[in-house]
């Protein structure tokens, strides 16, 4: 779970606060970068035009990896486990959506959103957001797509997951208007984020600022009207 820290400058200038945010974001393990693709056999619970879920996946393996990238060392044809999930109506989270091990490392992706893009008599397209995991790497926001097709009496699917450090939420701006602190960060559509705050960096327990936020835009925003004096430090969490 990644955090990015921003102190609202009751006494600091904004430029210094942004510098603190940047240092926080660069600390720790590297983020995942790159894409990985899969093919396999899905089992829908009905013909694709009316199906609500995939009840099973079999014979799933890695079909391609981006090189260079964090998945470069994964061999093609590595076996992968995919979790059954419901897409009509969409149900999330799916933890994990897929997972496998290779070379002593664990790879997985938790789906935090599922969206049915379109369907026909013999095809279904689904996309979503999620959090990618690799042993030794920081959890990284990701997007994924899945296309399932019916060929005669059988089904096949292909899917790709994309993870990038550019998806990591970083608090980008802060404003003060009439006692209300407003800030914005880069976001992935469908990904839930939680803004938290503390009043002193020696505190261990962070407080949630309102409920989690899900946006359909590349930028998410929040505001704090609960503090009119003193100082607060803010961070954004990626929720599973």
- Residue 20: the pLDDT is 30
Q: Which letter does DSSP use for residue 19 in this model?
A: H
- Residue 27: the pLDDT is 55
Give the best-scoring range by mean pLDDT among 27-36, 87-96, 201-210.
Answer: 87-96
- Bigger pLDDT: 14 vs 75: 75
CB 231 within 8 A of CB 211: no
pLDDT digits (tens, 9 = 90+) for 66-89: 999 999 999 999 999 999 999 999
- Rounded to a whole number of angstroms, the CA Rg of the chain reads 20
Ranking 33-42, 141-150, 196-205 by mean pLDDT, the lowest is 196-205
pTM over 0.85: no
State yes or no: pLDDT of 7 exceeds 50: no
- Bigger pLDDT: 215 vs 146: 146
What domains are there in the chain, each with its CATH number? Answer: 3-29+168-238 (2.60.40), 34-165 (no CATH)
- Residue 10: the pLDDT is 31
CB 87 within 8 A of CB 75: no
Long-range contacts of 202-208 (CB under 8 A, 24+ apart): 206/235
pLDDT band at residue 156 using 50, 70 and 90 as cut-offs: very high
**To which residue do tokens 């503390």 refer?**
198
**Geometric angle at alpha carbon 188, from 93 and 83, rounded to 5°:** 25
- Residue 190: the pLDDT is 85
Distance CA 144, CA 164 (A): 12
CB 90 within 8 A of CB 115: yes
Strands 94-102 and 3-7: unpaired
């Amino acid at each position: 779970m990644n955090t990015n820290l921003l102190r609202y400058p009751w006494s600091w200038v904004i430029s210094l606060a942004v510098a603190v945010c940047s240092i926080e974001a660069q600390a720790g393990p590297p983020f995942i970068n790159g894409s990985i693709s899969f093919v396999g056999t899905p089992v829908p619970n009905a013909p694709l035009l009316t199906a609500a879920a995939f009840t099973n996946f079999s014979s799933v393996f890695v079909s391609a990896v981006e090189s260079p990238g964090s998945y470069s060392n994964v061999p093609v044809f590595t076996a992968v486990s995919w979790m059954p999930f419901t897409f009509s109506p969409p149900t999330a989270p799916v933890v994990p959506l897929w997972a496998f091990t290779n070379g002593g490392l664990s790879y997985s992706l938790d789906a935090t959103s599922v969206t049915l893009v379109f369907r026909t008599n013999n095809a279904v397209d689904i996309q979503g957001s999620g959090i990618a995991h690799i042993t030794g790497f920081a959890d990284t926001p990701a997007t994924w797509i899945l296309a399932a097709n019916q060929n005669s009496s059988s089904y096949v699917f292909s899917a790709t997951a994309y993870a990038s450090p550019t998806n990591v939420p970083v608090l980008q701006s802060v404003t003060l208007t009439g006692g209300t602190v407003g800030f914005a960060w880069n976001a992935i559509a469908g990904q839930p984020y939680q803004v938290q705050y503390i009043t002193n960096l020696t505190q261990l327990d962070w407080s949630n600022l309102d409920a989690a936020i899900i946006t359909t835009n590349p930028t998410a925003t929040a505001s704090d009207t609960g503090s009119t004096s003193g100082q607060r430090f803010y961070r954004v969490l990626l929720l599973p």
